[in-house]
A = this chain, B = another copy of it.
Amino acid sequence: MEESSAPTSKKGAKKAEAKAKKEALKAQRAAERAAAQVADIDLEDDPAKDNYGRATSPTFTPDTPVVELSSLDDSYDGKTVVVRAWLQNSRIQSAKMGFVELRKGGNWTIQGVVMATISGTGAETQLPAEGTPLVSRRMVKWTTAINPESFVAVEATVKRPLEPVKSCRISGLELHITKCFVLAPAPAVLGMTMAVANQPVVNFSDETPSAGDADKAKEPEAAAESGTPAASMLTHLDNIAMHKRAPVQQAIADIRVEVKKLFRSYLEERRFKEFEPPCLIGAASEGGANVFKLAYFGQEAYLAQSPQFYKQFEIAGGRERVFGIGPVFRAENSNTPRHMTEFTGLDLEMEITHSYTEVLHTLEGVLLHILRTVQERCADEIETVRAVYPSEKILLPEPGKEVRLTFAEAQKLLREEGPAEFRDVRDDEDMSTPQEKALGAVVREKYKTDFYVIDKFPETARPFYAKLDDSGATVGDGVRVTNAFDFFIRGQEILSGGQRINDPEELEARIRAKGVDPESAGIKEYLTVFRQVGVPPHGGGGIGLDRVVAWLLALPSVHLAAGYPRTPKRLLP
């Protein structure tokens, strides 16, 4: 599954990467030529010399408003403004006129025009009429030679262009530049250009290419599927600022922010209170495998693999309904597009009044709220992502028609309507990732939804704290089922949850039944809390934020949904 979900083939990826390198070299030469030309300009005798140049804090007419590109609209027509932005492109039209493209606010772009008002040079210099801004030919040349991705501040008059500027998002206005200062110059050669940064990432293998790999890249290969150069995740992360500046990554980051916000606001409206579980813990509580260990003042500490125990301590401590948003850590050497060693968990835990379905419905409610609302609030951002990573709109159930299958029903569906290889799946064994994906396809076909719940997992597939179904129901060879469930998006799991055992005797019995020593470090302290006080019935669930964002957008990897993806091979930047 890992390989097939990449947007292009491995061969195509190599080809595209090679092309990107060539592109970079070409850009370097062009930049060097431009720089050489700019260096030739003697600014000292330019009557416009105070209107352009390198400045750390340029001064503009004090009452000229500094405007964000995202707030520019027709009401600014004819007005003079200061705009601070990244210069992402430029071209010189003639000795008297040039164009630049400015970008700010993620993906707001506008065309800037720089037109000489001073004609002639040297002795033949002719200044414009009094009151007209001074723009020299040298200023035109200098401005259009600014290295792409430099941060600039311009003073300009906002005007409507003769024709809409198709290449820019703000197509109905342009900036007639009268002053232009570089506040932070980009180098002549970028490690990754914006054109490349905004292409799909072609390779997530996340390894430093070895000499052998480099050789392979030189072998004759089939033409890359797209004509545009692209780069590997490695190149993207080595050029983190360019990676982040790309509109596609800005859009993903904005969608991520919105998902978090929606999670939080939905729960806060329902009396949930935020809390912060610790990352440093004194025992590798949940099994001990895949846990990071560190020296801690003569003891050992571990990094929390989940806030599970702490969410339950909050319930024991009378917090009633809690949620947490924070990092969780897995020391798992899994180099796949679904895994990271550090990711953000969206967790909740709540008292149960009548039935664990209260928990299921709350989690379903918050997720559907997120998935529906983010599509309204982030419609532009989703379009921006889709332009780079094409995907079908996610299918969600109509309210009241949510799809909830029991584990046994889901396996039956897979046996009867899934691919031949899954004819014999059992009701008492956990699903594999390929099974999950196949089921996702069957459910989409049958129920027209990419979002669904599988409930009543067999106890063999759940941890010791999962509460067994009261009815004593079994599947397969007499395996008890639990009040525990998983949620799926496009056939990929994004949430695990359920009712937890709240009775200490029952909990100890299940701990033993799972072959865990109730006296072992971490487990003992956990169990103690249940014995120390009465803990009300409760349940909850944990959602992987990175996965929700990635699968909502059908991205080829969760690494694209994280700000700084952590993988077994990657800790920088």
* Chain A residues packing against B (C-beta within 8 Å): 56-57, 66, 68, 84, 86, 103-106, 147, 149-151, 182-187, 190-191, 239-245, 249-250, 253-254, 257, 260-261, 268, 271, 273-283, 292-297, 299, 301, 303, 309-310, 313-314, 316-320, 326-327, 329, 331, 333, 341-342, 344, 351, 353-354, 470, 502-503, 525-526, 529, 531-537, 562-564, 566, 568-569, 571-573
Partner of A297, one of B151, B318, B333: B333
- Given contacts A184-B536, A254-B273, are A319 and B244 in contact (CB under 8 A)? yes
> How far does the alpha carbon of A55 sit from the alpha carbon of B334 in the complex, in Å?
45
Instruction: State whether B529 touches A241 (Cβ < 8 A).
Output: yes
Contacts of A149 in B (CB 8 A): 533-534
> How far does the alpha carbon of A58 sit from the alpha carbon of B566 in the complex, in Å?
47
Partner of A301, one of B503, B526, B571: B571
Q: How far is the CB of A546 from chain B (nearest CB, A)?
A: 10
> How far does the alpha carbon of A281 sit from the alpha carbon of B565 in the complex, in Å?
11
Look across to chain B and name the residue whose beta carbon is closest to the beta carbon of A572.
B282
Partner of A276, one of B56, B68, B563: B563
Instruction: State whether B292 touches A296 (Cβ < 8 A).
Output: yes
Look across to chain B and name the residue whose beta carbon is closest to the beta carbon of A537.
B183
Partner of A532, one of B241, B310, B503: B241
Partner of A242, one of B254, B260, B299, B533: B533
- Given contacts A326-B326, A573-B529, are A317 and B280 in contact (CB under 8 A)? no
Instruction: State whether A318 touches B282 (Cβ < 8 A).
Output: no
Instruction: State whether A327 touches B326 (Cβ < 8 A).
Output: yes
Contacts of A533 in B (CB 8 A): 149, 186-187, 190, 241-242, 245
Instruction: State whether A283 touches B525 (Cβ < 8 A).
Output: no
Q: How far is the CB of A311 from chain B (nearest CB, A)?
A: 11
Q: How far is the CB of A449 from chain B (nearest CB, A)?
A: 30
Instruction: State whether B280 touches A329 (Cβ < 8 A).
Output: yes
Instruction: State whether B66 touches A151 (Cβ < 8 A).
Output: no
> How far does the alpha carbon of A571 sit from the alpha carbon of B521 in the complex, in Å?
12
> How far does the alpha carbon of A351 sit from the alpha carbon of B573 in the complex, in Å?
21
Contacts of A333 in B (CB 8 A): 297
Q: How far is the CB of A111 from chain B (nearest CB, A)?
A: 19
Contacts of A313 in B (CB 8 A): 240-241, 244, 564, 573
Instruction: State whether A239 touches B532 (Cβ < 8 A).
Output: yes
Instruction: State whether B529 touches A317 (Cβ < 8 A).
Output: no
> How far does the alpha carbon of A326 sit from the alpha carbon of B345 in the complex, in Å?
12
Centre residue among A240, A254, A295 by max chain B CB count within 10 A:
A240
Partner of A106, one of B293, B318, B564: B318
Instruction: State whether A503 touches B294 (Cβ < 8 A).
Output: no
> How far does the alpha carbon of A534 sit from the alpha carbon of B151 in the complex, in Å?
6
Q: How far is the CB of A91 from chain B (nearest CB, A)?
A: 20
Contacts of A329 in B (CB 8 A): 279-280
> How far does the alpha carbon of A191 sit from the alpha carbon of B316 in the complex, in Å?
14
> How far does the alpha carbon of A150 sit from the alpha carbon of B316 in the complex, in Å?
11
> How far does the alpha carbon of A314 sit from the alpha carbon of B332 in the complex, in Å?
28
Instruction: State whether A353 touches B280 (Cβ < 8 A).
Output: no
Contacts of A569 in B (CB 8 A): 297
Q: How far is the CB of A64 from chain B (nearest CB, A)?
A: 12
Instruction: State whether A297 touches B568 (Cβ < 8 A).
Output: yes
Look across to chain B and name the residue whose beta carbon is closest to the beta carbon of A240.
B313
Instruction: State whether B351 touches A84 (Cβ < 8 A).
Output: yes
Q: How far is the CB of A212 from chain B (nearest CB, A)?
A: 20
> How far does the alpha carbon of A257 sit from the alpha carbon of B563 in the complex, in Å?
25
A-B contact pairs, 28 of them (CB 8 A): A56-B537, A66-B353, A84-B351, A84-B536, A103-B318, A104-B320, A151-B534, A151-B535, A241-B313, A244-B317, A244-B319, A245-B317, A245-B318, A257-B274, A260-B274, A276-B344, A276-B563, A278-B563, A278-B564, A278-B566, A280-B341, A281-B572, A282-B572, A283-B572, A294-B303, A296-B571, A310-B573, A313-B564
> How far does the alpha carbon of A94 sit from the alpha carbon of B564 in the complex, in Å?
67
Contacts of A564 in B (CB 8 A): 277-278, 310, 313
Instruction: State whether B573 touches A275 (Cβ < 8 A).
Output: no
Instruction: State whether A317 touches B186 (Cβ < 8 A).
Output: no
**14 further A-B pairs in the complex, CB-CB below 8 A; given A183-B537, A239-B532, A314-B563:** A57-B537, A184-B536, A187-B531, A241-B535, A261-B268, A276-B344, A277-B564, A279-B303, A297-B333, A297-B568, A297-B569, A299-B571, A313-B573, A326-B326
Instruction: State whether A535 touches B184 (Cβ < 8 A).
Output: yes
Contacts of A532 in B (CB 8 A): 186-187, 190-191, 239, 241-242
> How far does the alpha carbon of A351 sit from the alpha carbon of B562 in the complex, in Å?
22
- Given contacts A187-B531, A503-B184, A569-B297, are A276 and B327 in contact (CB under 8 A)? yes
Centre residue among A147, A244, A525 by max chain B CB count within 10 A:
A244
Instruction: State whether A280 touches B318 (Cβ < 8 A).
Output: no
Contacts of A253 in B (CB 8 A): 273, 275, 319
Q: How far is the CB of A253 from chain B (nearest CB, A)?
A: 7
Contacts of A529 in B (CB 8 A): 240-241, 573
- Given contacts A151-B534, A279-B342, are A184 and B319 in contact (CB under 8 A)? no
Partner of A295, one of B105, B182, B254, B293: B293
> How far does the alpha carbon of A569 sit from the alpha carbon of B293 in the complex, in Å?
17
Instruction: State whether B186 touches A150 (Cβ < 8 A).
Output: no
Contacts of A326 in B (CB 8 A): 326-327
